[in-house]
A and B are shown apart, each in its own frame.
Chain A
Amino acid sequence: MFQKLRDILSKVDADYADVRYESKKDTVISFNGKELTEIGLNTTDGFVLRALKGGGMASTVFTKESDVDKATRKVTENAQLIGRNSKEPVRLAKTEVVKDAFSPPLKEDPRKIPIQEKLELVRKYNDIPLSNEKIATTSFIYQEIIREKHFVSSEGSEIKEDLVTTRLSGGIVSKDGNLTQNVRVAMGGSNGFSTIRNQEHYVEDRTRVVVDLLSAKPIRGGTCNCVFNPSMAGVFTHEAFGHFSEADLIENLPTMREKMKLGNKLGNEVLNISDDATMPDQLGFYKYDDEGVKVRPTALMKNGVLTGRMHSRRTAAAFGEPISGHCIAQDYRFPPIIRMGTIFIHRGTLSLEELLSRLGEGYYVLDAKGGQTSGENFTFGAQHGYRVEGGKIKEMVRDINISGNLYETLKNIVALGDDFVLSKTGGCGKGPGSQTNIRSCFGGPHILVNNLVVGGA
């Protein structure tokens, strides 16, 4: 394969070029309620070619080898067109030339497990909620996504890396009269099939929560203080801060770039945030990004002060900051863009009881249900929560969505717990075509946050 990619690059007349070929194996086992709705294993593949020429950089995706000449022509034409229309030429930060073949260590390689065994395991989990009479339906989807990537650059890098993601995701829907409630189910990881095993208690717990939600009250809208569990703290870090530590989102917004200058104080001084995809055995793990740059642990915030940023080679050069190895594509259908790997708040020292007691009045909010960021604003949902009074957990509440603001909310994280949990499945959409990063990993400890806007009646 490397030879084929070298041949493609030899046809590209450019100052720099790289090409990535991926073969992607997808296994899907899907249940809706008690019915199996999909099962199968399929392989697809394609190429992504990028070129820097005349000061512009462009990319092209093609799935048929016979389109290679068309792709080569287009990518150089487009790069030159950009170059002609821009005053500042694109430069790429230096990176070491790498020749490596890397397969991640796996605890049980999912490729070696018969599909029938996987089917039975998914069915077993799916049967747990379905045996409860309050459960209307379920959606349990097992996915195994294996990206076998080959990367070659005109600078001489040649890298093969496999990314093996196993996940079981979906939801459970409960019903009482005309009221339905739902919770998510999420298990999996980057280090093998073992992450899917022995999850019966987890599924039982999700079932209990979704049944309890039927008698929970909708949360009241307004401003309040909250304790977040690690799942919420993680998505909060990802949405409230992480996206704006992705250099491409602010590169060409001069006023935001000024506010996000390294050295600026943006958060409360208790707050330390890092992105570290090199930690083993967690969802976000990888060795090289899709520009062939080795990923590095990146300290983003120390004691509330901005200390680093996630970069592509292009943005690292534009910002004059160190490369970090965060330029990642969803798969062979997309050029790479800057992505968080594993972003988290470092743990503090307080127990959950201490955090709740400091909270006094407010809500204890659990389990992320998706978030979204646009500019300085972000929202994110929770699957359930509890009203807290006098530092004690009271009744369950539902329909929790919270909004915040990049510049204010980080200052309102006032205390950190002594625990630490990272997410098991991901699904962050970003950029043109909404590329989904299924390995987007986040987490942290329990945290206490003041002055949040909560939507509600």
Chain B
Amino acid sequence: MEKLLQMAKKASDQAEVFSISYSDDAVYFENAKLNNMDSKVQSGVSLRIIKDGKLGFAYTRNLIDRQELLQNALDSLKGGVEAKYDFPLTKNLPKLDTYDSSVEKVSGSQMVEECTRVCDAIKSQTDSEIEAASFVHTSDLRILNTAGTDVPTKSGYYAIFANPIYPGTGVGVYRIFVKKGFQKTPDELIDELIKLYKLSSKAISPRGGRMKVLFMPNSLITLNWRISSGTSSKSVYEKISPLGDKMGEKVFSEKVSIYDDSLDDKYPGARAFDDEGVACRKYAVVEGGVLKSYYYDLEYAGKLSAKPTGNGFRTGMWGGDPIALKPTPAFSRMTIKPGNKSFWELVKSMDRGIIVENALGAHSGNIPNGDYSIGADPALYVENGEIVGRVKDAMVAGNVYETLKNVVDLGDTLHPSQDDAWVPAILCDDVSVATKG
């Protein structure tokens, strides 16, 4: 890596080498039986150079020919992509506990055993067709640049997923449990899943209308994507953010506080620096409903004459290949401040409404404008504080800037959502629900 950086330095004004290797092991259960296993060992190197204010970018899986990689980056300079920023000098980062080395020792048999145990527990009490999976991931990342930054990090996680499926539907209520190293799936989690499944087994057709909607962590990608779009420096620069002129103003209910916080190493995936080597920090994006900050990578900080906030990540809406993607502004770890009600207390406080367990089509509304229109998959129907069944074909629609003004309460526990945010369940009032009832 050092050699590549030196070669790149000779040929340009500034250079950055992003090097990553990662491994994944997965086991998959279908209908409570082991069905498939796959494993992956991948690595790659990505090079950015800046010369005369222009950016060159190239990547490879196998650094066999450094000269070829450098030449690809030099070729891409000719396109004339502007770079109004410098690679940073980052040092004295806080030491984070990102890696539990026991994760390396989690064997395929152990994952199979744990999935079997969880499936058996659910099966003994339900008629569901259970889908389950377990994952182990480790990653080594290093970023070097010609400003003198050399920041490595090693991280890993163990996760288990269980989804009891209502027969004949292919749909279920799922939960994910993720830790830095192997831990037995807590009995409370399995019991809650069984309880939820049983309560929602009956399909019902209530009438639609405006009602309370409890967005569960698995469904919150719907709102998170729209918040991420609205508070991104990229949207602000393109003048398409509805929050572009609202700094310091109240944009959501005072109950809503949203932080970017990848420093908290209680959870897997903590990071002291972003994918451009800029230090991450915890800061408020929205606090007490008031817009406090946008988030910036190097490029958009440069374009908007602002300071980078440690939010340059090589990721897309559906993940993507980190070596092939250029950094763009992204939350390091969106964290929504929890409230103080348990899930069951939230349910109890609902006169009439639905619980959106999972969202279908979160990607297909008008994200920049904050509009969403999702299939609730499934939607559990609540009447007088009790779950009475599940609604088929329910659609929930609204605009994030309206919905999050009507927050009744937030759950007291953070869970991982599909976009790697850590969020509580959020209960909102007066949300439009369309049904066939």
Contact = CB atoms under 8 A, between A and B. Distances in A.
B59 A44 contact: yes
Interface string A346-383: 00000000000000000000000111111111111100
Secondary structure type dominating chain B contacts: mixed
Given A39-B76, A71-B41, A374 B377 contact: yes
B434 A454 contact: yes
A436 B432 CA distance: 32
Interface in B332-376: 358, 360-366, 368-369, 371, 373-375
Contacts of B413: none
B57 A255 contact: no
A320 interface: no
Interface in B228-270: 234, 238-240, 242
B396 interface: yes
A57 interface: yes
Nearest to A29: B79
Interface centre among A38, A77, A254, A379 (most CB of B within 10 A): A379
Contact of B364 (A26, A74, A86, A380): A380
Contact of A399 (B31, B242, B366): B366
B208 A222 contact: yes
A45 B321 CA distance: 13
Contacts of A369: 364
A405 B376 CA distance: 12
A180 B62 contact: no
Nearest to B392: A405
B167 A44 contact: no
Contacts, number: 282
Contact of A432 (B38, B171, B394, B435): B38
A379 B364 contact: yes
A273 to B, nearest CB: 19
B240 A63 contact: no
A136 B68 CA distance: 39
Contact of A252 (B57, B60, B75, B129): B129
Interface string B114-127: 00100000000000
Size band of the B side of the interface?
35 or more
A181 interface: yes
Most chain A CB within a 10 A radius of its CB, from B28, B44, B366, B396: B366
B407 interface: no
Given A42-B324, A60-B38, A63-B61, A378 B397 contact: no
A44 B373 contact: no
Q: Most chain-B Cβ atoms within 10 A of its Cβ — which of A39, A434, A451?
A: A39
B374 A401 contact: yes
Interface in A54-83: 56-65, 67, 70-71, 74-75, 77-79, 81-82
A61 B238 contact: no
B396 to A, nearest CB: 7
Interface string B367-409: 0110101110110000000000000111111100000000000
B33 interface: yes
B112 A333 contact: no
A137 B303 CA distance: 15
Contacts of A400: 373
A220 to B, nearest CB: 9
A178 interface: yes
B170 interface: yes
Given A40-B76, A379-B360, 7 more contacts: A65-B62, A71-B41, A137-B239, A253-B165, A256-B169, A380-B364, A434-B318
Interface of A: 26, 29, 32-33, 35-46, 56-65, 67, 70-71, 74-75, 77-79, 81-82, 85-87, 115, 119, 136-137, 173, 175, 178-182, 218, 221-223, 244, 249-256, 259, 333, 335, 369-381, 398-401, 403-405, 429, 432-434, 436, 451, 453-457
